Chains A and B, each alone.
Chain A
């Protein structure tokens, strides 16, 4: 009906004289006092923009740095941080003996020869608590960092606070500034990196821990310093900066998994991250894996994912990640492919392989016994590389029947901004919720909140069996206005809390296209809010609509940390899947903070790589740390992870030779074992604070992938397709047709037809 009206309206004002049409429309709106409310909204938005602007300027405001130089300053700060880090490593290596951390730094700083005025530079140095002497003489060092850097820093000569190394011992490295580093440290961050921390010593099954100081000799003199720690697969972080001509600068870092993804990192924050306090024996660990950077400066709305690299079980025996039951990525990409997009047009960062795999129904056995989870592991050769193995780890969550469903307190939060008006957004959302309300009964509570220019209560808390007022409120929702997501979310949580049901389902369900673009609270603030509420027992589901405007990375980010699910709904059929077929999983949480850790046996595994989960990786020490949040699992949800493995004797994928260490042989004694790996899982019951562990060893298996189960083969085909879309090297010899061939024969019991649909969609792709 509505669509028809829309079409008619289009013809009514199409063709002749769009300007006149617009003028009349605007005149009508102005008469309805729309004009005043527009201006009011506008003032609020400008206020917000101003606040954001001021926040950005704060670090430099007292130094009177001109705004135009702001990003440049940030780029310089990044360089200073790197110097700080190098200096610290250098310094501590000299004064406090061998360091413990596995230090694997990669800094990418593209900046087209940005040069900095000495005065400004000095300010920044001061800001970073680096003592810098003013430029002395023409011999200022010109420092270039890393192989990937064309960043030249010309400036003051600075010197080490500690006794500088003897020149004879240490020929002057190209990257080493003579600098005084008296750096402050962000203690919070640093503590996490402190490799002597309480959660640090993990039980290793395959080898006995040695004293940590077993660091091989190191020499100085070149650009890179590598400190090898033989204890754990150390945490990795990434900090990458890029500036173009000094005008555009994107500094993004994923500090820690548990910190969520940072949006733009201010120079100061980044400075704190990189600055170091030597006395505490603390240093940040910087690496390239596990990073998720969001470029806010471009129109791209997908966070950029960097796949987990190959790892060696000797250096990094533990692979730890947070569970992810989201499915949005497949739905989203499927929509694009159905619209005729070819792989080259798909943003590769919209492909999150783990979400693709999770989308499908798997034939895993239901858990028996006291735990709400069952494991389903399988090993076979990899379909894309016969020399490799593929390990599938399936985790099946307990399915609760509908009769067992606890009472529900559901707060729907609708985005009714102008952009939601298309048929595949608000109207579809209304349809989806209508589907859901049929399932509700008198014990349940439904509340509806809208947000747009101003947030408001569209339906006060109402019992679930009162269909009439619910449907009435639902039908009265109309799109129009701009978006202030932050205020709406707050109101929704307040309503959820006021109507809290003990032992029940308390959930905010956000329906949006995620277009938070006209200024709102920062992503981080939203993430913090969601995270803190989930601790109080109110969970979040996000339903994304319409892929034209979808702020995918933002929605994923919100649900990543804040115990929530993220669905993407592109059709009535998908709405049925989420709100009817998987309703129990959507609503009922059976466990939260679910983490998986796999320990690989160096006697069986040469190298391994986790497929997908690029932004879900946790630090090894976070596994047993109950303060670290992780994913939530709903009733009947299953989670599947795939590892590609180079078996022992195969060609290692990890760069072999280290210049400063004699060999890669383990220093620790190996415990003889036939096992391939040990699978460990930790979960908390929805209202508990302490986690419960589960473990299961995984034995090797020499079956070929053709002999493996249908579940295994289909998952492999999905992974292969995803990797191909992401442009992985490892699948460059396979085609989409290969994936289709494998998947076709592995469809099996496909009650809802999702697997057959996958085959159809992929079949249409050109190789």
Chain B
């Protein structure tokens, strides 16, 4: 059975609550971005993902006394999010993503997170990689993602067909993904942490 330290007075109890709370806030600040990425990747809708992550964080806070400090917070949270996503699919009467796909995404996101932890930050890596993209692909990513346009708008803006836009985005994402993986690997292998098993080919 889990035994919590029994505080002597109410004030000490308050103090413990505060530090727990602060710790949780820090973890939240550190991890929320990758958690949103994870949930968005699964449910493919950023707004719903936001709801899910919020919900999951509230759940996590309620169970925070069960969280062991030496565990990876991101991993713990992703477990909760996976379940919340399952609920979400059920509620929306949609077929859930196959587990294998979720696991694959989790591997990617975990590696991005480790880049985050190493200090460079995956977003910065994306920016560096963006610069390496061919102009037309970069344009597509900028217009669609960073200028926050919907598909029709973005295609109009770029004066291409939606099908064309889709192709460009697909290629851009594949290149970016590859670039990020390489960068992170390169960062890690020489001095840092553990060598990562690279995909064949």
Contacts and interface: CB of A to CB of B under 8 A. Distances in A.
A28 interface: yes
Contacts of B126: 23-24, 27
B166 A45 contact: no
A11 interface: yes
Contacts of A4: 152
Interface in B74-117: 87, 91-93, 101, 104-105, 108-109, 112
B183 interface: no
Contacts of B146: 27-28, 31
B73 interface: no
A708 to B, nearest CB: 40
Contacts of B28: 39, 42, 46
B58 interface: yes
A22 B41 contact: yes
A19 B51 contact: no
A67 B151 CA distance: 50
B15 interface: no
Contacts of B39: 22
A550 to B, nearest CB: 10
A27 B48 contact: no
A235 B152 CA distance: 62
Interface string A324-364: 00000000000000010000000000000000000000000
B151 A5 contact: yes
A518 B173 contact: no
A64 interface: yes
Contact of B29 (A31, A39, A49, A64): A39
B47 A418 contact: yes
Interface of A is mostly: helix
Contacts of B61: 46, 49-50
Contacts of A28: 145-146, 148
A573 interface: no
Nearest to B154: A12
Interface in A22-50: 22-32, 35, 38-39, 41-43, 45-46, 49-50
B176 A45 contact: no
A482 B54 contact: yes
Given A22-B41, A45-B57, A50-B61, A9 B151 contact: yes
A18 B62 contact: no
A417 B51 contact: yes
A25 B141 CA distance: 10
Given A24-B145, A45-B54, A479-B47, A299 B152 contact: no
Given A25-B145, A26-B37, A548-B93, A9 B150 contact: yes
A29 B46 contact: yes
A24 B173 contact: yes
A229 B25 CA distance: 59
Interface string B1-23: 11110100010000001000100
Contacts of A13: 44, 169
B123 interface: yes
A42 B54 contact: yes
B21 A38 contact: no
Contacts of B17: 50
Nearest to B4: A66
Given A12-B151, A13-B169, A42 B57 contact: yes
Contacts of A421: 45, 47-48
Interface in B30-48: 32-33, 36-42, 44-48
Nearest to A419: B51
A641 B80 CA distance: 46
Contact of B55 (A8, A10, A16, A518): A518
Q: Which of A8, A30, A35, A517 has the most CB of B within 10 A?
A: A8
A11 B40 contact: no
B2 to A, nearest CB: 6
B50 A68 contact: no
A217 interface: no
Contacts of A367: none
B182 interface: no
A444 to B, nearest CB: 33
B137 interface: no
A657 interface: no
B46 A23 contact: no
B152 A5 contact: yes
Contacts of B6: 64
Contacts of A339: 93
A331 B13 CA distance: 50
A17 interface: yes
Interface string A45-68: 110011001000000010010111
A518 B17 CA distance: 21
A30 B150 contact: no
B139 interface: no
Contact of A17 (B92, B93, B177): B177
A126 interface: no
A171 interface: no
B92 A548 contact: yes
A210 B111 CA distance: 82
Contacts of B1: 68
Nearest to A517: B55
A620 to B, nearest CB: 41
Contacts of B25: 43, 46
A43 B54 CA distance: 10
B9 to A, nearest CB: 11
A720 B176 CA distance: 61
B32 A35 contact: yes
A418 B54 CA distance: 12
Q: Which of A19, A45, A421 has the most CB of B within 10 A?
A: A19
A23 B50 contact: no
Given A11-B166, A50-B21, A418-B50, A19 B29 contact: no
Given A12-B169, A39-B29, A66-B4, A21 B51 contact: no
A482 B51 contact: yes
Q: Which of A23, A28, A29, A43 has the most CB of B within 10 A?
A: A23
Nearest to A5: B150
Contacts of B42: 18
A45 to B, nearest CB: 6
A349 B163 CA distance: 47
Q: Which of B42, B47, B123, B162 has the most CB of A within 10 A?
A: B47
A730 interface: no
Contacts of B33: 26, 30, 35
Q: Which of A8, A12, A53, A417 has the most CB of B within 10 A?
A: A12
Nearest to B25: A43
Contact of A518 (B49, B51, B91): B51
Contact of A16 (B93, B108, B173): B173
Nearest to A299: B87
16 contacts: A8-B151, A8-B152, A9-B150, A19-B108, A21-B173, A23-B41, A24-B141, A24-B173, A27-B123, A27-B126, A38-B36, A38-B50, A50-B61, A66-B3, A482-B54, A517-B55
Q: Which 5 A-B pairs have the closest CB atoms?
A: A418-B47, A22-B40, A22-B41, A8-B151, A20-B173
Given A39-B28, A53-B62, 9 more contacts: A8-B162, A20-B108, A22-B41, A23-B41, A23-B112, A24-B145, A38-B32, A38-B50, A43-B25
